[in-house]
A and B are shown apart, each in its own frame.
Chain A
Amino acid sequence: MQKLEALLFDFAFIGYLAAMILYLVYVRSRDDRHSGRGHTILWGSAVIHALSLGIGLWVEAHRPGHVAFGFWSNWFESLSLFSLLIVAVFLAVQRRARLAILGAFVLPWAVILMGVGLTQAFLASPRCPFASVEDLLNILNATRRLPDLPVTFGAFVHVPLIFFSYAAFANAFGIGLAFVIGERQIKSKHPTTLSYRLPPLEEMDRVIARLVAAAFPALTLGLVLGLRWARLAYGTTWAWDAKVLWSVAIWAVYGFYLAVRYGLGWRGRRTAYLSLAGFGLVLVSYTVANFFSKFHIFVTGKVG
């Protein structure tokens, strides 16, 4: 099973990479065939990727004495989940808005995250990078253990809920980047070919706001479920955990975004920068804050 899971992961990575390249070529050529192929490959890769994660989940759930809760508690699997969700959200955005060009701004994030996962696999088992995924999965499964704590459904879903919101923020970040570039060019009266190819500013602004509006409830629910479980498991809701602190900061930034955007009618450049800053915090939370966290530290995948 691990072999299949690893193989599907490798295929998904190659697919994402190919789709990203096609979208980048599309930016230059504006030939719809490129974005069309990119879209098809992306869909296929996302399905393959979901299968890979599904197998992992199934294996984990059927292991005697283990529950599925532990599944996202290591770098590799969380990177994998994160990138799948980024791609899924992008496919949804493109379905609604037909903004193929944004693939060039969003997909690199999914590819980078998958690449980090592959690098981790390679560091754990320096075989050929693609074969090492299987080795890493074996190591992870061998070392996977759960703290002696009650596991609830809420504890299980709080991770994917928060990752879904992060994936939407990642999409908003990519589109925000495109917006900031396009806006600056038009404002400064030097529009280049790129700004003629990007979607209209107002439309990008709307898509960013909708992504944040969709992600915010998921983030809120994820945090509440996590905190509720903390009380159940550790007897306290607030334990001054680095990751929880950062997550609340992220929640505050995006909450502020929604308040000024829909409440005060701020739009355009200022709100775009706000969403960029929010995703900056997400990245810090995901990387740095982990090492200072008591409860959220990832299993490294190293034996011993």
Chain B
Amino acid sequence: MKRLRLLGVSHRTAPVEWRERLAVPDDRLPALVERLRARAAVEEAVVLSTCNRVEVYAVTEAEDVAPLRDEVAQWHNDPRLTETFYFHEDEAAVRHLFHVAAGLDSLVIGEAEILGQVKRAYDLAKQAGATGKLTNVLFQRAIHVGKAVRTQTKISEGPTSVPSLAVSLAERIFGELSACRALVVGAGAMAELALRALKSQKVAELVVANRTAEKAAALAQAIGARPAPFTDLNKELVHADIVLCSTGSPDFIFRPEQVAAALHERRGRSLFFIDIAVPRDVDPAVDALDNVYLYNVDDLEGLVAESLGRRETEIQRAGGLADAKAGEFAPWYDSWRAGARAALRHGDRDLAGTKMEAHG
């Protein structure tokens, strides 16, 4: 009897060193689909492979999940791998897919990327000729549900981490970060993380300054930034838009009179200080200056906590919505299975044909 079966591993069941062994590169997909067809009696298959999950949605005639499990286990030859698998079938598989598409099963709940990945997995399967009546309808529905959940609830709203919050605040002030210059003061682990994050945002210029010039130079070279002497900080302040401070200095590095002087030369252009150093690097009195936006580590973490708290209630709503959509899909799924059953009884008559017969 044909049915939808799901087999997967995700960040919930397996650490990254296990997941990465199963990850499927795009170009290997057609060959895998062929093997699934030949060895696991699979008629339709969509493989969703991201950094947080590998899932196989298959329409199969097989009596149980064993052939599918054994076949996928062979993608990487390690018997322990099967212990990390989870299986769902029929409505539970539909429900799972809808939750995944809605971002409810993601590491960062509500993240937007997964929806594009679901769409891509479906497109690739379609190109490989692996989709059919069920998977076509199911995945289009899942993409629709993913969009609906994000527009009807607020699970994707608000920052979820300090770096993403800092980036979105900078964008609220300046717009595209590709036109912004960033100055990172400090060369510790946090400074390095910040530099990498800013680099990935493709800022126009990235400058790193540190009291020990050698450390700044080494870090600048490793990341592709420009090192600046610590004594030139006032000069750099005139050009930078985003200033991220993360030094171990016991005293303030930026004081109001110093910043005010720089602002005068900046001709009013905004200046965004992100002070993640403890003890703080920027004198809080700087905040009183016009066109200066100063966030310290407590401000940022407080906002992230607030936003995560708000998401919590939205997650409940989103889960309910995804479940409701899965419930709405159930009658179609049942009629698809009934059609499959009828087709089995009446030979090669299609779904529409059996329906007409039933009414007549």
User: Interface residues, chain A, CB within 8 Å of chain B?
Assistant: 29, 31, 182, 186-187, 189, 191, 193, 195-196, 198-203, 265-270
Instruction: State which of A182, A193, A202, A270 has its C-beta within 8 Å of the C-beta of B290.
Output: A270
Contact A265 B267 (CB under 8 A): yes
Contact B169 A186 (CB under 8 A): yes
CB of B151 within 8 A of CB of A29, answer yes
Considering only residues 221-275 of chain B, those with a C-beta below 8 Å from chain A are 264, 266-270
B113 at the interface (CB under 8 A from A): no
Known: A29-B151, A191-B303, A267-B267. A186 touches B175 (CB 8 A): no
Beyond the given A187-B293, A200-B173, please list 6 additional residue pairs across the A-B interface where CB-CB is below 8 A: A29-B151, A31-B151, A200-B175, A201-B174, A202-B173, A265-B267
Tell whether A196 pairs with B267 under 8 Å between CB atoms, given A189-B299, A268-B291, A269-B290. Answer: no
Distance in angstroms from B276 CB to nearest chain A CB is 14
Taking CB atoms, residues of chain B closer than 8 Å to A203 are: 175
- B172: interface (CB < 8 Å): yes
Residues of B within 8 A of A (CB): 151, 154, 157-158, 168-169, 171-175, 264, 266-270, 287, 290-291, 293, 295, 299, 303
Q: Are A186 and B291 in contact (CB under 8 A)?
A: no
Structural contact, A268 and B172, CB atoms closer than 8 A: no
Q: Report chain B residues within 8 Å CB of A202.
A: 173-175, 269-270
Residues from chain A with Cβ under 8 Å of B168 in the complex: 196
Bound CA–CA A29/B303 (angstroms): 22
In order of increasing CB-CB distance, the 6 nearest A-B pairs are: A267-B268, A265-B267, A200-B175, A268-B291, A265-B268, A189-B299
Min Cβ gap A267→B in Å is: 3
| A199 proximity list for chain B (CB < 8 A) | 175
**19 pairs, A vs B, C-beta closer than 8 Å:** A182-B172, A186-B169, A186-B172, A187-B293, A195-B172, A196-B158, A196-B168, A200-B172, A200-B173, A200-B174, A202-B175, A265-B264, A266-B268, A267-B267, A267-B269, A267-B270, A268-B290, A269-B290, A269-B291
CB nearest to A262 among chain B residues: B267
Of chain B, the residue at the smallest CB distance from A31 is: B151
**Residue with the greatest number of chain B CB neighbours at <10 A, chosen from A31, A193, A267:** A267
Q: Is the Cβ of A200 less than 8 Å from the Cβ of B268?
A: no
Residues of B within 8 A of A267 (CB): 267-270, 291
A186 cross-chain contacts in B, Cβ below 8 A:
169, 172-173, 293
Point out the residues of chain A lying under 8 angstroms from B287, CB to CB.
Answer: 187
Q: Which residues of the partner chain B approach A266 to less than 8 Å between Cβ atoms?
A: 268
Contacts of A198 in B (CB 8 A): 172
Task: Please name all residues of chain A whose beta carbon is closer than 8 Å to the beta carbon of B303 when the two chains form the complex.
Answer: 189, 191
Quick check: B171 and A200 within 8 Å, CB to CB? yes
Chain A residues, CB < 8 A from B295: 189
With A187-B293, A189-B299, A268-B291 already in contact, the answer to whether A196 and B268 are too (CB < 8 A) is no
B152 vs chain A, min Cβ distance (A): 10
Residue on A nearest B272 in the bound complex, by CB: A186
What residues of chain A lie closer than 8 Å to B172, measured between beta carbons?
182, 186, 191, 195-196, 198, 200-201
CB neighbours of B269 from chain A (8 A): 202, 267
CA distance A193 to B306 in the complex (A): 12
User: What's the minimum C-beta distance from B47 to chain A, rounded to whole angstroms?
Assistant: 32
Whether A193 contacts B157 in the complex (CB less than 8 A), given A186-B169, A187-B293, comes out as yes
Kindly list chain B residues whose C-beta atoms are within 8 Å of the C-beta of A268: 268, 270, 290-291
Residues of A within 8 A of B268 (CB): 265-268
Give the distance to chain B from A195, nearest Cβ to Cβ, in Å: 6
What CA separation (Å) do A167 and B358 show in the bound complex?
Answer: 68
- A191 near B173 (CB under 8 angstroms)? no
Task: Kindly list chain A residues whose C-beta atoms are within 8 Å of the C-beta of B158.
Answer: 193, 196
What separation, in Å, do the CA atoms of A254 and B139 have in the docked complex? 57
Instruction: Give B230 Cβ to nearest chain A Cβ, in Å.
Output: 28
Contacts of A193 in B (CB 8 A): 154, 157-158
Q: For the complex, give the distance between the alpha carbons of A271 and B157 in Å.
A: 31
Give the nearest-CB partner of B267 in chain A: A265
A238–B173 Cα distance when bound, in Å, is 46
Least Cβ distance of B350 to chain A in Å? 36
A78 CA to B115 CA, complexed, in Å: 52
Nearest CB in chain A: distance from B191 CB, A: 22
B-chain residues with CB within 8 Å of residue A29 when the two chains form the complex: 151
Q: Tell me the bound Cα distance from A196 to B158 in angstroms.
A: 9
